[in-house]
Amino acid sequence: MSRPRIGLTLDSDAGGGRYELPRAYADAVLEAGGLPILLPHAGEAAGAYLALIDGLVVSGGDFDVPPELYGEARRPACGPSKPERTEFERDILEAALAAHLPVLAVCGGMQLLDVVRGGTLYQDLAADAGIRGHEQPPPKDVPSHDVAVARGTQLAALVGEGVLRVNSTHHQAVRDPGQGVLVSARSPDGVIEAIELPDERFAIGVQWHPEATRSDPRHLALYRGLVDAARDARTGAR
């Protein structure tokens, strides 16, 4: 059986001269049965990319979604942005959702998923909500806190409902869920840790990095779920 092709969005270095991607993303797709396809930042090629891939991973990175995208002025606690990357990721994410392509959005990718549906973010959890403790020190691949997975969600069908131990490295988070966005997990302090779009075949965002903790089958299940949905999308199954 051929492997579903899973597009992976890329980061770029500070000077913009080199694309970057943690190996864990590609390895997780491979272990889940998919074929990773790297997607350079070329908005004009978004249609060609979508014709090539069967599913999409919007990866995380050490930068922030520009607050202008959700109708706010930038405040001092907001971190640096990468406009070229965000513009490309927004374009291909919106196109993927319009085409009902399976999507897994990780960390900053989850925040962008909420924003493209009209949601808003905390520019900084500490400054905006007085919440700390979501930027764990190294090692980043070791789970550091619990989340509560909501019963009856697609996330729960993949990883099980109840408590899931996750790794967490972020200072921003979803504040207001966008249109049609369902909150599927929260941390004990109330921070939204996972969202999904119930009106799509597969569209899940998680604030943690399941590719980095994929030795736990519950975390790899997110990538397996994406690949399975991509395979079904290719064959036209529901």
Three-state secondary structure of the chain: CCCCEEEEECEECCCCCCEECCHHHHHHHHHCCCEEEEECCCHHHHHHHHHHCCEEEECCCCCCCCHHHHCCCCCCCCCCCCHHHHHHHHHHHHHHHHCCCCEEEECHHHHHHHHHCCCEEECCHHHHHCCCCCECCCCCCCCCEEEEECCCCHHHHHHCCEEEEECCECCCEEEECCCCCEEEEECCCCCEEEEECCCCCCEEEECCCCCCCCCCHHHHHHHHHHHHHHHHHHHCCC
Q: Which of 107, 134, 171, 193 is catalytic?
A: 107
Q: What is the pLDDT of residues 87-109, one digit of tens each?
A: 999 999 999 999 999 999 999 99
How buried is 192 (Cβ within 10 angstroms: 0-12 exposed, 13-18 middle, 19+ buried)? buried
Mean pLDDT score, 117-144: 92
209 in active site: yes
Q: What is the pLDDT of residues 147-199, one digit of tens each?
A: 999 999 999 999 999 999 999 889 999 999 999 999 999 999 999 999 999 99
Question: Is residue 76's pLDDT more than 80?
Answer: yes
Mean pLDDT score, 128-138: 89
> At 27, is the pLDDT very low, low, confident or very high (cuts 50, 70, 90)?
very high
Predicted confidence at residue 16, as pLDDT, reads: 78
Average pLDDT along the chain: 95
Mean pLDDT score, 53-67: 96
Question: Is residue 1's pLDDT more than 80?
Answer: no
Mean pLDDT score, 203-231: 97
Tell me how far apart the terminal alpha carbons of the chain are, to the nearest angstrom: 19
- The rounded percent of the chain whose pLDDT value lies above 70 is 99
Mean pLDDT score, 20-30: 97
> At 36, is the pLDDT very low, low, confident or very high (cuts 50, 70, 90)?
very high
Question: Is residue 238's pLDDT more than 70?
Answer: no
Predicted confidence at residue 121, as pLDDT, reads: 98
- Global pTM? 0.96
Predicted confidence at residue 237, as pLDDT, reads: 60
Candidate from 136-140, 149-153, 219-223 with smallest mean pLDDT:
136-140
> At 35, is the pLDDT very low, low, confident or very high (cuts 50, 70, 90)?
very high
Q: Which of 89, 134, 211, 219 is catalytic?
A: 211
Question: Is residue 69's pLDDT more than 70?
Answer: yes
Question: Is residue 8's pLDDT more than 60?
Answer: yes
**Encoded tokens for 134:** 């979501």
Superfamily name with CATH number, domain 5-235: Class I glutamine amidotransferase (GATase) domain (3.40.50.880)
Predicted confidence at residue 234, as pLDDT, reads: 78
Q: Give the start-to-end residue ranges of the domains of the chain.
A: 5-235
Question: Is residue 68's pLDDT more than 80?
Answer: yes
Q: Which of 41, 170, 209, 219 is catalytic?
A: 209
